[in-house]
Every structure is written in C-alpha cells, then in structure tokens.
C-alpha cells in the first residue's frame, strides 16, 4: 500500500492497542447480545479453559485458552471465565488459587481489565456462585469445575451466529494482527539469516523464537522449518538438529503472536541465484497478484481458482509441464503441484472459524468440485483477514500417483527430477480486504524493516 490511507508503517507496541480495545469490547458485547437474542439465550458463561494434566502425571500441557474467551480477554489465565448478560457489565470470574508451588496469577490491572467487574474465586468450582439461577445460559467452553448450572454446552446455533462475525476484524484486532505480522517479519529475518550462515533447522527455529522473545508454546502454531526436500512436506514437523550436507533451499512457515492473534507467514529461499530462485520469484509475483484480489465482494473461491491458473502458467513457463493454462488446470496437473487451498481466514485461530459458513444461522457454502482442501468459501467483506499462500511443490507420492495418468503425460519428468532436491515453494502473506485496495500486512511489515 502506498496511498494516503496507509496506516502507521511500524505498528505501535501492545500498550497502544489500549485505545482501540474499548470499541472492540463494545462490538463483541453487541454481537453477543444479538446472537443470544436470536438463539433464545439470556446469557453466556465463557470459561478460559484450564491446565490439562498429562496422563497419570502431575504436570500440565501448555495452557491454550479458549478462543471464545480470548475474544474478550487479551491476557487470559487458566480457570477464569467471563459471565455475560446483555445490558450488564460483564463479570470476569478470576481464579486465584492459594498455591505456594506456583506463582499465583496476579489480579488483572491492565488496560483491558477495567471493562469488567472482577470476581475472585479460590477454587474453580466457585464459578457457579457467579452464575445466576433462572436465566437460560449458554456454556461456551470447558469449565474446570462442575458444569452443572452453567448452561447448555456449546449450542450449535449460538456458536454459528458468533463465529460468523469473527471473520470481519475490529480495528483493535487489525492492530493486533498488524503487530503480529511485524513481529513475524522480524523473526523471519532472523531465521533466514541463521539458514544462510550454516544453522540447522532447529537452530533457525530457535533464532526465530529468540528474535521475538517467544516461547515455542506461545507461537500461533508449530513452526515449519524445512531445508531442501523437506519443503515438499506441507506441514513438515521435525526440526533436524544437524544441518544436512546439502541445503539448497529453505521454506519457513512461521508466525508470531500478539495478544492471542497470530500471523501466518511463509517464505522460501534458494541458497544460490539458480533456477529454483527464479521459480521462487515467479510464485512470489503470482502471490502479489492474488493478494491484490482480496477486496470486499470478491468470492474467495475465485481467488483459489485464479491461483490454479497462475500455477499452470508457471509450470508451463518453467517447462515443468506442457499444455495450455486451461488444459493444465482441467486435467488436474496443477493439483499435483499445488494440492492445498489458496488460504484461510486468520484471527484468534490460525485457521479461523466459519470459513465455510453460509450465514449466521449456519449451513455450509460448498467448495468448488475437486478442491476438497479449500478452507474458505465465503464472499469477502470489509476487514476480513485472510492468508494468500500459493505453493508449487515436488511431492513424491503425488507425482508417483500422476505418472501414467493423463496429467502425467503433460509433465516433464526430467525437469521434475531436477527440482526435487529443492522440495517446493510457498509464499504466504496476511491480507485485509479493504474497499480502497487490499492491505497486505505482511508485505508492509517486511517493508517497514527495510526491503
Ligand atoms: Mn496459512
């Protein structure tokens, strides 16, 4: 973006999001009020969730708060809950155990806390004392104590009505996501530098975390750090401690957190100025064209289909496959090399909710036939935040399945073999649908860092 509406290029620190939170809080309260009324509930109990213990052990998995709770509370602690009744001040029921093994959570005094009445409990079971008898409650999450009296668990109609509206982000949420992209860009730079100076996958991962002072468990999802052929595994999960003798390419799919929101960014690098670097540049250029299509009113499935035409053109330009763009799409050649969706909604959850929803009353908007992995089929609206992530990979099992089929006859197998050691390319940005033009949070973030 370079027009006059460009937001401050370097996002403010988290404390500066304070000014946007009051309006966000009001919007969430309005959405809850409308959704509860539409589905016949008088109020909602929204637990943060608790610490899950390992089987027959005395310590826990990392705390991953309930996203419904996090929509309200930027800095959650375990075993808390929001109790919301339309027209009343929401109550934050705050669990502060008497516990000398752990540092007890401090009563929230941050900028967001003054929007709540805070009620301290010493045991999770005391939550029920803060839920009035009589009203019809919905229980949106897993209580840590007894669920009795806390309402109907996870009512589908209410969840559908609430989730539908999470696609369009409030200015506060956009601020969080803008900052998450900025932090992600900083960390990506650190990981790339580590790759270029001899680090292993594991060390590049640690460089990523260190650059933004994040613990692994705070990241929005597990980092995908893939050297060479590992890049052909879409969700490659190992972090090899030893750098391989040959690491001709580096695919990193990793995001940074900001108050519960996360970025989801992928870059691919070639070690040399070789043909794979040109392939990366071609996918990068296609990604920019696709990201520019993120506008209100656009059917997201059309961007996905446009991505297949982009991939077809690249396959043809690089003589990886032969045939017209239409033929390469129609015969399924592009699906061999680009076997996932073009992206998804992004927010409190990396694959954010209601991507396939037909409306606030539920139902599903079907995927285009033959595209089973597309996670978003809605028409974009102002302030929707999505990823755009075209890829082009050399995936052995998909290539083997194509050999001998109509798609296989279009593929130049010698060219495929030449590219296999590089694994694949994916380029992924986080983009806001805006009437005046797509706002690319990720490109803006890298640009703010210079380059
Ligand atoms: Mn993604």
Residue 61 CA to ligand 1 center (angstroms) comes to 24
Rg over CA atoms, the chain: 24
Q: How far is the CA of 219 from the centre of ligand 1 (A)?
A: 14
pLDDT, position 16: 78
390 Cα–ligand 1 center, Å: 10
- 3-class secondary structure, 83: strand
Q: What proportions of the chain, in percent to the nearest 5, are helix, strand and coil?
A: 40, 15, 45
CA of 224 to the centre of ligand 1 (A): 11
Determine the distance separating the centroid of ligand 1 and the alpha carbon of 312, expressed in angstroms: 21
| Cα-to-centroid distance, 6 and ligand 1 (Å) | 24
User: How far does the centroid of ligand 1 lie from the alpha carbon of residue 114, in Å?
Assistant: 34
pTM: 0.95
User: How many A from CA of 344 to the centre of ligand 1?
Assistant: 7
The SS3 assignment for 107 reads coil
Query: Residue length, the chain?
Result: 451
Provide the pLDDT for residue 12. Answer: 67
- Measure the CA–CA gap between 167 and 357, rounded to whole angstroms: 10
Contact 432, 444 (CB under 8 A): no
C-alpha 90/C-alpha 96 separation (Å) is 19
Whole-number Å distance, alpha carbon 254 to ligand 1 midpoint, is: 9
pLDDT along the chain (451 residues), means of 10: 45 79 97 98 97 94 96 93 97 91 83 94 94 96 91 97 98 96 97 98 98 96 98 96 97 97 98 98 98 98 98 98 97 97 98 96 94 95 98 98 95 98 98 97 95 59
Alpha carbon of 308 to ligand 1 centroid (Å):
17
CA of 159 to the centre of ligand 1 (A): 23
CA 222 to ligand 1 center in whole angstroms: 12
* Spatial separation of the C-alpha atoms in residues 9 and 82, rounded to whole Å: 34
Question: Among all chains, which residue has been given the structure tokens 């982009």?
Answer: 310
Give the per-residue pLDDT at 9: 55
Give 426 Cα–ligand 1 centroid separation in angstroms: 10
Predicted confidence (pLDDT) per residue in 131-157, tens digit: 999 999 999 999 988 999 999 999 999
What is the per-residue pLDDT for 2? 41
Query: Ligand 1 centre and the CA of 336: distance in Å?
Result: 19
Q: What's the gap in Å between 425 CA and the centre of ligand 1? A: 14
How far does the centroid of ligand 1 lie from the alpha carbon of residue 388, in Å?
Answer: 8
Q: What is the pLDDT of residues 6-61, one digit of tens each?
A: 444 566 677 778 889 999 999 999 999 999 999 999 999 999 999 999 999 999 99
Rounded to the nearest angstrom, the gap between the alpha carbon of residue 281 and the centroid of all alpha carbons in its chain is 24
Q: How far is the CA of 389 from the centre of ligand 1 (A)?
A: 7
Crossing angle of helices 18-39 and 171-196, rounded to 10°: 120
Domains and CATH numbers, the chain: 42-154 (3.40.350.10), 171-448 (3.90.230.10)
pLDDT of residue 37: 98
Residue 322 Cα, ligand 1 centroid: separation in angstroms? 29
Q: How far is the CA of 386 from the centre of ligand 1 (A)?
A: 9
Q: Which residues surround ligand 1, an ion (CB under 5 A)?
A: 264, 387
């Amino acid at each position: 973006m370079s027009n006059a509406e460009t937001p401050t290029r370097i996002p403010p620190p988290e404390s500066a999001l304070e000014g946007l939170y009051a309006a966000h809080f009001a919007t969430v309260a309005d959405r809850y009020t409308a959704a509860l009324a539409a589905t016949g509930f008088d109020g909602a109990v929204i637990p943060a969730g608790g610490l899950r213990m390992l089987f027959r052990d005395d310590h826990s998995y990392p705390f991953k708060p309930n996203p419904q709770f996090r929509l309200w509370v930027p800095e959650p602690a375990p075993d808390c809950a929001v109790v919301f009744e339309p027209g009343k001040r929401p109550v934050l029921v705050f669990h502060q155990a008497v516990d000398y093994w752990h540092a007890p959570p401090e009563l929230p005094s941050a900028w967001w806390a003054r929007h709540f009445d805070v009620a301290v409990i010493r045991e999770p079971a005391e939550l029920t004392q803060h839920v009035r008898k009589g009203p019809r409650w919905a229980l949106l999450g897993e209580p840590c104590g007894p669920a009795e009296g806390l309402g109907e668990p996870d009512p589908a109609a209410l969840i559908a009505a609430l989730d539908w509206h999470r696609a369009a982000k409030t200015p506060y949420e956009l601020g969080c996501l803008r900052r998450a992209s900025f932090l992600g860009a900083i960390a990506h730079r650190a990981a790339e530098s580590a790759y270029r100076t001899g680090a292993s996958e594991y060390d590049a991962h640690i460089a990523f975390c260190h650059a933004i002072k994040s613990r692994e468990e705070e990241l929005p999802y597990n980092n995908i750090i893939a050297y060479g052929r590992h890049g052909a595994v879409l969700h490659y999960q190992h972090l090899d401690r030893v750098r391989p003798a040959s690491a001709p390419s580096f695919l990193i799919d990793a995001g940074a957190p900001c108050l519960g929101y996360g970025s989801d960014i992928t870059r691919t690098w070639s070690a040399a100025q070789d043909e794979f670097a040109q392939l990366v540049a071609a996918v990068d250029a296609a990604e920019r064209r696709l990201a520019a299509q993120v506008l209100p009113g656009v059917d997201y499935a059309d961007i996905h289909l446009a991505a297949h035409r982009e991939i077809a053109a690249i396959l043809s330009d690089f003589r990886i496959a032969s045939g017209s763009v239409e033929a390469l799409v129609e015969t399924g050649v592009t699906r061999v090399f680009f076997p996932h969706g073009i992206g998804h909604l992004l927010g409190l959850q990396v694959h954010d909710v209601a991507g396939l929803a037909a409306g606030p009353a539920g139902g599903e908007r079907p995927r285009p036939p033959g595209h089973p992995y597309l996670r978003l089929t809605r028409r974009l609206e102002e302030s929707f935040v999505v990823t755009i992530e075209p890829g082009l990979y050399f995936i052995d099992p998909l290539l083997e399945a194509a050999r001998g089929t109509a798609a296989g006859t279009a593929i130049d197998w010698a060219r495929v073999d030449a590219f296999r050691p590089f694994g694949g390319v994916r380029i992924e940005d986080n983009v806001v649908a805006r009437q005046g033009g797509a706002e690319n949070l990720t490109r803006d973030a890298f640009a703010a860092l210079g380059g």
